[in-house]
């Protein structure tokens, strides 16, 4: 049993070191430019959440130069992030209650009224 645990521990340590070395080979990436609301640590997860919440890809808000503010959708995304953060800050538990998905539900534009035919009688 000790041998198995020792092997498992050694394998885990080796994989950890390998992962660290693999990350260094490509060199450290420069942080994204023009971050105004997100941070270098959080922007990746945020971008993935936008893709899921709005059903869009990167080019919906970005041009080839990702730091450019050329597209209005990028400016709107910043305003919406600020709005969601402001709403969430009013909850005393500190949890995230409102996200992009809360309103968008996978659509580029959120519905402002129930779809026709959804009325329950």
pTM over 0.75: no
The residue among 13 and 76 whose pLDDT is bigger is 76
Which one, of 62, 78, 77, lies nearest residue 108 by Cα? 77
| pLDDT value of position 27 | 59
- Reported as a single tens digit per residue, the pLDDT across 45-66 is 999 999 999 999 999 999 999 9
- Reported as a single tens digit per residue, the pLDDT across 73-106 is 999 999 999 999 999 999 999 999 999 999 999 9
At 2, the pLDDT band (50, 70, 90 cuts) reads low
Name 35's Cβ contacts closer than 8 Å, sequence gap at least 6: 43
**3-state class (DSSP) for residue 76:** helix
């Amino acid at each position: 049993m000790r041998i198995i645990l020792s092997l498992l521990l050694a394998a885990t340590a080796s994989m950890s070191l390998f992962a660290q070395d693999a990350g260094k080979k490509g060199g450290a990436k420069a942080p994204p430019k023009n971050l105004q609301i997100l941070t270098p640590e959080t922007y990746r997860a945020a971008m993935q959440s936008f893709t899921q919440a709005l059903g869009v890809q990167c080019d919906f808000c970005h041009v080839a130069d990702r730091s450019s503010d050329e597209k209005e959708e990028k400016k709107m995304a910043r305003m919406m992030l600020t709005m969601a953060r402001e709403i969430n800050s009013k909850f005393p538990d500190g949890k995230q209650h409102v996200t992009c998905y809360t309103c968008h539900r996978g659509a580029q534009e959120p519905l402002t009224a129930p779809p026709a035919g959804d009325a329950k009688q």
